[in-house]
Amino acid sequence: MAQVPGYKLIVDQLKREGVDTIFYIMGGPIIDLAGACQDAGIRTIDVRHEQAAAMAAHAYARATGRPGVCMAASGPAATNLLTGIANAYTDCAPVIALGGAAPTSQFGMDAFQEFDQVSCFKSVTRWAERALHSARLPELINRCFREAMGAKPGPVYLDLPGDVLYKRVEDTEVYYPPAYERTALPGDPAAVNRALDILRKAERPIVIGGSGAAWAGADREMQEFVERTGIPFWTTPQSRGLIPEDHDLSFLGARSAGFSEADAVLLVGTRMNFIIGFGASPRFAADVKFIMINSDAAEVGHNRPVEMGIVGDARRVLEQLNAGLDGFPNKRDSPWVDHLRQVDAARRDQTEAQIANNSMPMHPLRLCGEVRDAVKRDAIIVEDGHEIMNFARQSIPSFVPRGRINAGPNGCMGVGLPAAVGAAAANPGRQVVLVGGDGSFGMNIQEIDTAVRHKLPVVCVISHNGGWTGAIRDRKVPGRDLLMTRYDEVAKAFGAHGEYVERPEDLRAALERALNCGGPAVVNVVVDPYARATTQAFGSYSSKLS
């Protein structure tokens, strides 16, 4: 028999669960846990702020479909994870947060950094618990994965008191659970048949895919369904690329028309939250028939009644729908699809005219167009900020699953660089490009150091308008203005590649140099401070306040 410290039991179970990367900052009492992870071959990426560790783990999960793991020392180190964990919670993203804590033997004695960290995390996690018995640590780690990848994915938190981490136990006393495997349940066949009947009779049907389809790996099944039915599709921002957006049934510029004029909507793995206007009028017609596929029964009918709800895994249910498509009338050549095609073409012409504009200061859409044309088809695009994020959504398509990352429904700024770090760690050799604003970029700019030290070749393209959001002519907005910081010079100080661009005709060459430099890069682009994006307002959100 041999005695094993608690932290070693954690590492053994993490390996069983397939963990290959952890984001963290060193400190007590988790420092030996980090060392044991390294010894076991788990890549440990030490960031410059714990917030970035959580945000990077979130992006890692988005980019891989597996839970991301982050770790922090006790006290303020653990609470620094909270904003990133809250983002993952609202985004239904599986992130496992491990936090060191004061020893249980000193609870109630005003020990160093002693307070109830578990309570801090309970409101922004699917599950939060404190480890009390060293021998049960593998069970608790396994529970983390089961809770994070449940019916509604999300973050979890496990509190790791110092004495529990370092206590040595007989290895014969330890039970190592088998690695968690997600169970993908099909839908009720009667509900599937009813859904097909609704869509068969609809004159103006659409499909909206969401994160549930991405987590289920349902991209092929969704594309098959769209192609065999001829029904136009859109996705939520985080699930873009489930089907290539140059598909002939993708009409990015006709989103508003498609949503508001549809008579039947198939929601595949997405909630009726503010992203789609709660499914309410005027975003959608008052009499539209919703069919909702969701793995979480509590989401079916939330915020708006549905004509048919199907509880099940998105991929499995789409397989069932596809199996019932024999004889389904293909709607590709219908007046409805032709109408959307015309609306989309008109909007695309407007956007392309702005992209081609050579005015100075540069319009943000020109920046987006150059990024679109410079990156590879399978590039991961990370968006951060306000105006530029909305411009990028309008103009930069995605062609592969898991190719788009932003803060999600929490709308948190500053996620861009940490998210790019996480995405690059998950996808060695693949282009990862951050398109962000100068305000948001400054929030976590120190993570350039992380990218340099860990040789993560993220390319950060900054739409620099000198402030938070777009300026308003003849009006001073308190707190809006920032300095025109030379982020390219900051990047060079950290050891990264830096480019400064003012002229539109110089941008493409600067982007190509950055993409080919072999390491992290910042392209600092001066844009028109008065350019303001037109996008679906949070009006459906604010209308709920009246």
The three-state secondary structure class of 205 is strand
For CATH 3.40.50.970, list the domain ranges present in the chain.
3-173, 356-526
Query: pLDDT tens, 496-511?
Result: 999 999 999 999 999 9
In the prediction, which pLDDT does 326 show? 94
In the prediction, which pLDDT does 396 show? 95
Assess contact for 296 and 211: CB atoms under 8 A: no
In the prediction, which pLDDT does 188 show? 97
The pair of structure tokens assigned to 183 is 């169970």
In the prediction, which pLDDT does 1 show? 64
Average pLDDT, the chain: 94
Query: pLDDT tens, 208-233?
Result: 999 999 999 999 999 999 999 999 99
For CATH 3.40.50.1220, list the domain ranges present in the chain.
189-340
Euclidean distance between CA atoms 289 and 199, whole angstroms? 9
- CATH architecture observed for domain 189-340: 3-Layer(aba) Sandwich (3.40)
Which superfamily is assigned to 356-526 in CATH?
A: Thiamin diphosphate (ThDP)-binding fold, Pyr/PP domains (3.40.50.970)
In the prediction, which pLDDT does 534 show? 73
In the prediction, which pLDDT does 249 show? 97
Residue 533 pLDDT grade (very low, low, confident, very high; cuts 50, 70, 90) = confident
SS (H, E, C) 280-347: CCCCCCCCCEEEEEECCHHHCCCCCCCCEEEECCHHHHHHHHHHCCCCCCCCCCCHHHHHHHHHHHHH
Euclidean distance between CA atoms 491 and 461, whole angstroms? 12
Longest dimension (CA), the chain: 78
* pLDDT value at 539 more than 70: no
Assess contact for 97 and 68: CB atoms under 8 A: no
Mean pLDDT of 169-196: 95
Euclidean distance between CA atoms 252 and 343, whole angstroms? 10
Which superfamily is assigned to 3-173 in CATH?
A: Thiamin diphosphate (ThDP)-binding fold, Pyr/PP domains (3.40.50.970)
The pair of structure tokens assigned to 262 is 């549809």
Residue 546 pLDDT grade (very low, low, confident, very high; cuts 50, 70, 90) = very low
In the prediction, which pLDDT does 394 show? 87
